[in-house]
């Protein structure tokens, strides 16, 4: 894939932090492209630079070297065409569900009846129709993350970044949320970058899985996932799913 064809393009991106003990290489150099409508999972051990990579893509941290480009334009600051879903839903407890979804729009001064209607539609898409007037303390953990996903999509971003979005959920809720997210991805056709520690989660949701080495994180393997979409619980029982997970797991045991 050429850089011109990519929705997101990282070329020889690296980050070196200046510390009291001297330079600390945190990431790279690494290169990867994400196509329009592609779901890419970034998989790696703790401390490998996944969070640093996320900061580069969001425009919160300039790379020490290399180029980060989104929609053909260099990423030099936070962008409104990027949606983010964090590990914790970070909902405002004094605002109801609808107002939490609309919060980024209000901050940008772009509230309108059209955006209000889009927020209602987003809540319906994530299975929260009827909960617009509820407050965060009235929701389960999975429901709060559904609100966070609706909020991340409200401004119709070109790219959706997800940083361990289900890590704080119990195993059953996490599994259900991965299925629901896959369904949302099928409907919206957004470009998605998922940061995760979970191999099954990465294989189930992604078109490609990029594996990072220990710090400084470099891409040591890219696995193209050949599982047909749409994917459901039966996908996880397929021999191909198990074999792909095992193949990726071996990269962390050698």
| pLDDT attached to residue 47 | 83
| pLDDT attached to residue 111 | 83
In this prediction, residues 142-147 reach a mean pLDDT of 92
In this prediction, residues 37-52 reach a mean pLDDT of 90
pLDDT above 60 for 2: no
In this prediction, residues 210-230 reach a mean pLDDT of 93
In this prediction, residues 125-134 reach a mean pLDDT of 92
| pLDDT attached to residue 41 | 96
Domains of the chain: 3-81+158-250 (3.40.50.300), 92-156 (no CATH)
CB 205 within 8 A of CB 181: yes
Task: Tell the residue number behind the tokens 């997970």, with chain if given.
Answer: 245
| pLDDT attached to residue 10 | 96
| pLDDT attached to residue 22 | 86
Q: With the C-alpha atoms ordered 39, 82, 36, 46, is the resulting torsion angle positive or negative? A: negative
| pLDDT attached to residue 3 | 57
pLDDT in tens, 149-163: 999 988 888 899 999
Return d(Cα 93, Cα 130) in angstroms, integer: 18
DSSP string covering 97-120: HHHHHHHHHHHTT---HHHHHHHH
| pLDDT attached to residue 6 | 82
Helices and strands counted in the chain (H then E): 7, 10
Instruction: Look at the pTM and tell me if it is higher than 0.85.
Output: yes
Q: How far is CA 153 from CA 35, 99, 165, 177, in A?
A: 18, 14, 14, 16
């Amino acid at each position: 894939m050429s850089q011109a064809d990519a929705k997101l393009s990282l070329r020889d991106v690296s980050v070196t932090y200046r510390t009291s003990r001297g330079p600390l290489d945190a990431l790279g150099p690494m290169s990867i492209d994400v196509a329009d409508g592609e779901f890419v999972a970034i998989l790696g051990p703790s401390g490998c630079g996944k969070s640093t990579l996320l900061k580069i893509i969001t425009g919160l941290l300039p790379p020490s070297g290399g180029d980060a480009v989104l929609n053909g334009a260099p990423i030099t600051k936070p962008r409104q065409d990027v949606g983010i879903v964090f590990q914790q839903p970070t909902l405002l407890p004094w605002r109801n569900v609808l107002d939490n979804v609309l919060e980024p729009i209000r901050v940008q001064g772009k509230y309108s009846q059209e955006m209000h209607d889009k927020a209602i539609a987003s809540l319906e898409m994530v299975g929260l129709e009827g909960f617009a007037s509820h407050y965060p303390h009235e929701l389960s953990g999975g429901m709060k993350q559904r609100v966070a996903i609706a909020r991340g999509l409200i401004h119709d971003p070109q790219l959706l970044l997800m940083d361990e979005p289900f890590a704080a959920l119990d195993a059953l809720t996490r599994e259900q949320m991965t299925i629901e997210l896959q369904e949302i991805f099928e409907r919206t056709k957004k470009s998605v970058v998922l940061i995760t520690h979970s191999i099954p989660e990465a294989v189930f949701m992604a078109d490609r899985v990029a594996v990072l080495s220990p710090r400084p994180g470099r891409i040591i393997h890219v696995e193209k996932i050949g599982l047909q979409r749409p994917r459901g619980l039966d996908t996880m029982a397929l021999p191909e799913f198990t074999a792909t997970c095992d193949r990726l797991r071996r990269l962390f045991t050698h």
